[in-house]
Amino acid sequence: MNTATKLAAYTGGLAAIFAAALGVGAAVGSPIDMPTATHGDTHLETPNAAPETPGGLQVSEQGYTLSEITTGPDALSFRITGPTGEPVTAFTEEHEKKLHLIVVRSDTTGYRHVHPTMSDDGTWTVDWAWQSGGSYRVFADFRPTDGPALTLGRTVDVAGDTAPAPTLALDRIAEVDGYRVELTGELDTGGGPLTLNVSRDGVPVTDLQPYLGAFGHLVALRTGDLAYLHVHPQGAPGDGVTAPGPEIVFHAQAPSQGTYRLFLDFRHQNTVRTAEFTVTADQPGTPDAHPTPAPAASTGHGH
């Protein structure tokens, strides 16, 4: 696709996204009902994205660019280039890592949160195997030394089975590997607390282990366009205040109304697991039209 075509797709897609307060479906479809639009609208990759654009929708921001994603039979690699066009090699650790890589298919399946290693020339590499075909969004979450905290994203199309996932109902309860995680609180555009309560076999889990400097990490993605929101936990292990479960509290503010997928990573008994939720975000004070449904099994995954 040439530059003029990309810019045209971007302009039309961005208008549709913010007019509907939702994104658009990609080639493999979305598990949430959304207005019909073209696949090209998901590729919001422009070096001139507006400052208010949610994270992950742009490939470049404030002079920093996420390079093309190189994939091989068993690895994935990329670079971050800076304002001079040269690869960035100095990063500040955020949550104990210099870069967090989030990958998810456009229908919000196949979520993974991993941590590549960087070579001296600024190339990041991670062992990798695609779970299925389809259109994937790759997010790099990082802070260059003396630079801004950024989340940049690129789309990678993978050959193979592209059958969309079944429609996902709104769900505030996740079950993974015998753990039950219940979500309370409202995700809205005003910001506020979200609480995740972890139990196992009906018993509250009170000995969660630190993972990346916290008792849990939460990523929110707006369905359709996959606008990225990294939600920050309240408190920290060892601060004398924050208990190691069963509750993990986060502060979250949605960039718009719409439907979001939430992914909670938590560590217990030396294994990291992911609990997945589907919620709607409204304006503050909107009556809750989406009560907590009956429990539904979640495939989840370990790390």
| Residue range 130-185, pLDDT digits in tens | 989 999 999 999 999 999 999 999 999 999 888 877 878 899 999 999 999 999 99
Give whole-number Cα distances, 106 to 31, 43, 109, 112, 254, in Å: 9, 11, 7, 13, 19
Given a contact cutoff of 8 angstroms between Cβ atoms, the answer to whether 235 and 242 are in contact is: yes
pLDDT tens by residue, 134-146: 999 999 999 999 9
Map out the domains of the chain with their CATH numbers: 3-158 (2.60.40.10), 173-281 (2.60.40.1220)
- Partner residues linked to 216 by β-bridges: none
Q: pLDDT, tens digit, for every residue of 237-247?
A: 999 999 999 99
Tell me, rounded to whole angstroms, the distance of Cα 301 from its chain centroid.
15
Report the pLDDT value the prediction gives residue 48, as an integer from 0 to 100: 39
How confident is the model at residue 52, as a pLDDT? 60
Q: Give the whole-angstrom CA distance, residue 14 versus residue 32.
A: 19
* pLDDT computed for residue 287 by the predictor: 57
Cβ neighbours, 10 Å, residue 107:
26
Q: What is the pTM of this model?
A: 0.77
| Adjacent-strand bridge partners of 75 | 127
C-alpha to C-alpha distance for 45 and 39, rounded to whole angstroms:
13
**pLDDT for 303:** 43
Of the candidates 192, 303, 297, which has an alpha carbon nearest to the alpha carbon of residue 253?
Answer: 192
Peptide bond into 246 cis (omega under 30): yes
Mean pLDDT score, 99-117: 96
Asked which of 50-64, 192-206, 247-261 is least confident by mean pLDDT, the reply is 50-64
